[in-house]
Amino acid sequence: MIDAVLEKRYDVQYCLYLLALHRLLSSRLPDYDIDRHLGGALYVFLRGTRAPSRGVHAERPSRELIEGLDALFRDAEEAAA
């Protein structure tokens, strides 16, 4: 499954989705804590009922990665303003 995740770049996709969720939660929850409130990503592979490639792929990117992406995009947004 990890091969499919990397080949299709689902890793980039789930990091961007988690960044969006991180920003939403940090704006809505006064006591927001990334380690407590932000879980991870699950990809469910259903390629036939008996296929060996079916299953669930779970990832939880590090706090440093999500905060780094947040800073990167925030800096880009400020530069564009």
| pLDDT tens sequence across 3-58 | 888 899 999 999 999 999 999 999 999 999 999 999 999 998 887 667 777 888 99
**Mean pLDDT over residues 53-73, rounded?**
93
Q: Which residue in the block uniquely carries the two structure tokens 């969720």?
A: 21
Amino acid at 3: D
pLDDT (0 to 100) of residue 34:
96
Give the Cα separation of 20 and 61 in Å (integer): 13
Give the Cα separation of 7 and 1 in Å (integer): 10
pLDDT (0 to 100) of residue 48:
61
Indicate yes or no: pTM above 0.75.
yes
CA-based nearest residue to 44, from 19, 7, 9, 10? 10
pLDDT (0 to 100) of residue 79:
85
The number of angstroms, rounded, from the C-alpha of 25 to the middle of its chain's C-alpha atoms is 14
Domain boundaries, the chain: 2-80
CA-based nearest residue to 64, from 43, 38, 41, 45? 38
